[in-house]
Amino acid sequence: MNSKKSLIKAGAAAGVLALAVAGGYVAHADGVNAGAVNAHPSPPPGATALPSFADIVQRVAPAVVSIEVEGKIGPRQIADQFGGGDGDDDTNGLPPELRRFFQQQGRQAQPQTMHAAGSGFFVSADGYIVTNNHVVENADKITIHTADDRTFKAHVIGRDAATDIAVVKVDGANLPFVSFEDRAKPRVGDWVVAVGNPFNLGGTATAGIVSALGRKNVSDSSYVDYMQIDAPINRGNSGGPTFDLYGRVVGVNTAIFSPSGGSVGIGFDIPADVVAKVSKELISTGKVARGYIGAQVQNVTPDIAESLGLKGKGALVAELTPGGPADRAGLKPGDLVTKANGQPVESATDLTRAVGLVRAGDPIRLEVRHEGQVREVVIRSGARPAEDQLAANTPRGGGEREDSDGGVTGALGLSVAPDPQGQGVRVAGVDANSDAAQKGLRRGDVILQAGGRAAHAAADITAAVAEAKKAGRHQVLLFVARGGQHTFVPIEIGQG
């Protein structure tokens, strides 16, 4: 299973740690080995032998299954696996050879048959199996292979794209299963064992340690802080469990960081507490219910903080869904959310999770700052739409207008002109050596605000630059629209 750039949806290669089991290598005292310096090895003073994982694997492996998937996949889904692309062309983002293949078939290319393999594990004796959402999301047919060579047909009970967790079920009884335990809280340096189906080999166990906890930005998910492990995992290990030395599930393998496509010893697991909560809700209702306020937020980077003259952190509101809960409650683009239901908000992820914890209809009390004023906004939460519905409602790009000539704001490295739609100031040109170019501004972008003030002409941006300089700031915060999406971009003030 693929992911974006060098982050690959996971699998595993056979480890060699089993060679270094308790007791170590022992040379036989025969005629050949009698003079060997390691004929009677002993550990150095104070050292302990590495553990054997044989008993653990023997106990838990029967609950681990191999998953075979068959389905249809089109160019858009394949492009998303490679990181996606801008615009309306479904083939944007594909490698050149795949793009040519689909373009040769025309824009209405038929979906192609897809075969894939992953891993999973029983969590009940009657056949519920936890795996990754990306393993089964495009599946028309799911086949389960058990450790004792039995084969079952499975159907999807529920999927949660936000955490990449899915539950499927087979018809069976008295099946071996594993459970989640609250006590299974690993620490960095603890031994772990990953069991799964790498490269469709089936029944493979690899061992390593917990390398890090609380890894953010591993994927697009705002609901998971990943556990990093160095037990080798590869393609096909997706959805398989990772166990501690007590045989308790501590995570689910979901992705690897790999410049080469194979394991380099950096793998990522969804922590067991997240998996347990999500899987139980999927089994109970078939879906995961989360709160929703209809606001896109972004982190306050040091540049944004400097441009706003802020010292604290928070979640900066960039865009509101018209008529959504936040819009109706009076939240505004540019508001800085610092608390949610009394808890500090230090990042966009903090706010997303706080909202996700509430149920539809529940109130969410936000403390916000805007232009130096602090106020409280109470929002009545809605029900969060499915992730694919949210993605479908998010524009994938927009056209750029090539005509232009207008005012120049040299201090920011931008030339601008009035927007034909009257919504702001359109970027007519960007100095390639400017900070604006480094931050990704491009011709056709529309600047709606500069320094927190509405921008209708080049003079408004010039005034914002002058105001920032007077306040001793080195950045001006621009509110920029592109193809239906909005974001705040701090631009360094040059000498122009």
Average pLDDT over residues 62-84: 70
What is the CATH T-level fold of the domain 408-492, as seen in this structure?
A: Pdz3 Domain (2.30.42)
- Which of 238, 263, 307, 381 is an active site residue? 238
Tokens representing residue 79 in the block: 């492009």
- Which of 119, 134, 160, 211 is an active site residue? 134
Give the pLDDT of residue 460.
81
- Which of 90, 164, 350, 460 is an active site residue? 164
pTM of the entire predicted model: 0.64
CA distances from 26 to 22, 47, 54, 176 (A): 11, 17, 19, 37
pLDDT tens digit sequence for 385-412 = 766 666 555 443 333 333 333 444 567 8
What three-state secondary structure class fits 59?
Answer: helix
pLDDT tens digit sequence for 257-308 = 766 666 677 888 899 888 999 999 999 999 888 888 888 888 888 888 877 7
* Residue-range domain boundaries for the chain: 1-66+119-288, 291-390, 408-492
Is 256 a residue whose pLDDT tops 80? Answer: no
Return d(Cα 288, Cα 276) in angstroms, integer.
Answer: 12
Q: Quick check: 407 and 459 in contact, CB under 8 A?
A: yes
Q: Quick check: 424 and 448 in contact, CB under 8 A?
A: yes
Give the pLDDT of residue 247.
86
Q: Quick check: 336 and 368 in contact, CB under 8 A?
A: yes
Give the pLDDT of residue 169.
96
Q: Do domains 1-66+119-288 and 291-390 have the same CATH topology?
A: no
Give the pLDDT of residue 4.
41
**With 0-12 CB in 10 A as exposed, 13-18 as middle and 19+ as buried, what is 277?**
middle
Is 496 a residue whose pLDDT tops 90? Answer: no
Q: Quick check: 74 and 143 in contact, CB under 8 A?
A: no
Q: Which superfamily, per CATH, for 291-390?
A: PDZ domain (2.30.42.10)
Average pLDDT over residues 308-334: 84
Give which of 216, 201, 198, 219 is closest to 263, Cα–Cα: 198
DSSP string for 461-492: HHHHHHHHHHTT-SEEEEEEEETTEEEEEEEE
What's phi and psi for 131, nearest 5 deg? -150, -170
Give which of 70, 69, 92, 61 is closest to 196, Cα–Cα: 61
pLDDT tens digit sequence for 437-460 = 888 888 888 888 888 788 877 778
Stretch among 67-81, 352-366, 459-473 having the lowest mean pLDDT:
67-81
Stretch among 69-78, 357-366, 384-393 having the lowest mean pLDDT:
384-393
DSSP string for 109-133: PPPEEEEEEEEEEE-STT-EEEEEH
Give the pLDDT of residue 267.
85
| DSSP category for residue 396 | -
More confident residue, 108 or 138: 138
Q: Quick check: 187 and 210 in contact, CB under 8 A?
A: yes
Stretch among 14-28, 367-381, 453-467 having the lowest mean pLDDT:
14-28
* Class of the CATH-defined domain 1-66+119-288: mainly beta
CA distances from 375 to 98, 305, 331 (A): 52, 19, 10
Q: Residues, the chain, total?
A: 496
DSSP string for 330-376: T--TT-EEEEETTEE--SHHHHHHHHHHSPTT-EEEEEEEETTEEEE
pLDDT tens digit sequence for 152-199 = 999 999 999 888 999 999 999 999 999 876 666 888 988 999 998 888
Give the pLDDT of residue 391.
56
What mean pLDDT, rounded, does the chain reach?
76
Stretch among 14-28, 211-225, 262-276, 296-310 having the lowest mean pLDDT:
14-28
- Residues paired with residue 274 on neighbouring β-strands, in sequence order: none
Q: Is 238 a catalytic residue?
A: yes
The angle formed by the CA atoms of residues 5, 348 and 303, to the nearest 5 degrees, is 85
Q: Is 486 a catalytic residue?
A: no
